[in-house]
Structure 1
Amino acid sequence: MPTVVFIHGLWLHSTSWAAWRELFEASGYDTLAPEWPGTPDTVAAARESADTIADHGIDDVTSHYLGIIGELGEPPIVVGHSFGGMIAEKLLGLGRVAGAVAVDAAQIKGVLPLPLSALHSTLPVFKNPANRHRAVSLTAEQFRFGFGNAVSEKESDALHERWSIPAPGKPLFEAAAANFSLHSPAEVDTGNEDRGPLLLIAGGQDHTVPEVITKATAKQYRHSTAVTDVIVFPDRGHSLTIDSGWREVATTALEWLQKQGM
C-alpha cells in the first residue's frame, strides 16, 4: 500500500491528524503527518514560534512537501485539509502523488465564488496588510466562527485550546490575489489527464471554505478525464477533521481510496 501523507491547513498543528493516522494504520497504511516549514513539533512550541512560522507561502509549502514525498519509495496518497487540501491538489496536478483527498480545500486559481462568511473567517489576517509577512493567531471566538460553528461552543473552545496555533498570513494573501495574477502559486494543473484520482470533501456548514467553493473547484477539473469525486457532509463545518464527528469523514475518505484500488 502507498504511504498516506497528511497535510494540515492554517491554524491547526500536524498532530491534529493523530486519530486519522491511527485509523488508516489499522487498515494497513503507513502514514506521515509532516509539519509545515518553520513550525515546531508540538502545539505548545508552535504557539511560541510565530516568527519561524511566518512568511511561508504556497510555493514554499509545496516545495517542502515535494522534498518529503521525494524521499519515499513510491508516490504516496495525500490527504489535506483547508490549505493542506490545496497543497494536495497541487501535488496531484504535478503528478507526484498516487491520489488525493482534499477536505474543505482552500480556493485555487479560477474559482470565483467568495461568500461573505469566507471573508469574515479570514478577517483576522486581512484587517492588517502587514500580516502578509506575519503569523496570526485566532481567538476562541474567531475559531468558533471559522472552524467550530457546527459544533457546540464548549467543543469548539476545547478544539481551539488543544490544536490551534499561529498561521502564516502569506498563503491567504496569495490565494486572494490568485485570479488577478498570471503566475499565481494558487494555480493547480486541473487539466492533467494522467493524474491519480481526487476526492473533494465539503462541509455544508463551513464558513471558511463554503460548499459553493468546493463545487466550483470541482468544475475546474471538467476538462480532465481523471477521476474527480465530490462528497458533501451537509451538517459539518471547517472543524470536520478534528471534531467529534471526525471518524465519519475519515472513514468515508478511507473507503473511497479503497474503491480506487489504493
Structure 2
Amino acid sequence: MPAALPAALFLHGAGARGGQWAVWRRVFEAAGWQVAAPDLVPETPQALAADSFAARLERARAAHAALPPGAALVGASLGGLIAYALAGTAAPAVPLVLVNPLPPAPFAARLPPLDEDDAAFRWRSAGRFAGTARALPGSPFADQHFAFRHWHDEQPALLRTAHAGLALPRPAGPVLLLASADDCEVPQGLCREFAGAIGAGFMGLPGGHLDPVMGPGAASAAALALSWLNGCARHRPD
C-alpha cells in the first residue's frame, strides 16, 4: 500500500475564505502534499449573526479529522488563533504554523484595539476596493480585485472575543511563527514575544498583515513553512 501523502489544514483569517490560501495551496500541492482549506464562515446572515469562536473551532476540528492523522495545521490571523486552539487538544500532537496570528491570553491584551463600530466588520457588504488595495499594496491589480470580491462580513462579537484573550493550552507539537515587519494588526514584536513564551520557532518577514498569505511574498512564505514542516516530518519518531 502506498504511503499516505503528508497533509495540512489551512485556516483563513477574519473576513476571508479558504481561497485566500491559493498560493500556499499551489506550493504545497506541487510538493506532493494533500491540502484542505475550508471556508469556516457561515453562508447566511442569520447564521453569521449567531456564529461564535467555539462554533468556528468545531468546524475546523471536523475538517482536521477528515485528513490523515497527524495532519499539520496552518493558520493566519484569526485562523492562527483557531489553529493554536485546535493544536492544543490534538492527539497525536501535530506541527503548527502560525502566520501573523491573533495570540491567546495574556498576549492578546496588547493587541491594537478593535474598531467599536460594528459597520467596520462589513467587509463584503460595505467594503471598498481602496481598502483592499491599501492592505495589499504590492500585489497586481487582478489579485487585489480577486481579494476584494471574496471578502465576507464578519461577526463583530466573535472578533471581540478573540481580541479579549482566550486562555488556551499550549500545543504539544512543534510550532513555527511567521510575522510581518509592518503588521499593524498583530505587531511583529508581540509575535516574537509570544513565540518565545511557547518555545516556537520564529521567522520575520517583510510586508503587512496580509502579505505572507495573499501578497507578493506569499510563495516565499509558503516555501519557508513547507521546508520547516518537511523538517518536522524527517525528525518525527516512528
Per the normalisation by structure 1, the TM-score is 0.75
**Structure 1 residues 169-178 or 25-34, which shifts more?**
169-178
Shift of 1:37: 4.2
Pairs within 5 Å for 1:1-262: 1-39=5-43, 49-96=44-91, 98-111=94-107, 114=110, 118-119=112-113, 122-123=114-115, 126-128=116-118, 136-137=122-123, 138-144=127-133, 147-148=135-136, 151=138, 157-158=144-145, 160-178=147-165, 186-190=166-170, 192=171, 195-222=172-199, 228-261=200-233
Structure 1: 5+ residue runs without aligned partners?
40-48, 179-185, 223-227
Residues 61, 157 of structure 1: alpha-carbon distance in 2 compared, 3 angstrom cutoff:
same
Over the aligned positions, Cα root-mean-square deviation in angstroms equals: 2.6
Q: AA paired with 1:247?
A: A
Shift of 1:99: 0.9
Q: Retained in 1: the 8 A contact 2:64–2:71? A: yes
Q: AA paired with 1:164?
A: W
Shift of 1:196: 1.4
| CA distance in structure 2 between the aligned counterparts of 1:60 and 1:71, rounded to whole angstroms | 17
Q: AA paired with 1:114?
A: R
Residues 207, 187 of structure 1: alpha-carbon distance in 2 compared, 3 angstrom cutoff:
same
Q: Retained in 1: the 8 A contact 2:181–2:207? A: yes
Residues 219, 56 of structure 1: alpha-carbon distance in 2 compared, 3 angstrom cutoff:
farther
Q: Retained in 1: the 8 A contact 2:81–2:103? A: yes
Q: Retained in 2: the 8 A contact 1:37–1:64? A: no
Shift of 1:157: 4.6
Length, aligned pairs only: 226
Q: Retained in 2: the 8 A contact 1:53–1:135? A: no
Structure 2: 5+ residue runs without aligned partners?
none
Shift of 1:151: 3.0
| CA distance in structure 1 between the aligned counterparts of 2:212 and 2:68, rounded to whole angstroms | 31
Per the normalisation by structure 2, the TM-score is 0.82
| CA distance in structure 1 between the aligned counterparts of 2:193 and 2:50, rounded to whole angstroms | 28
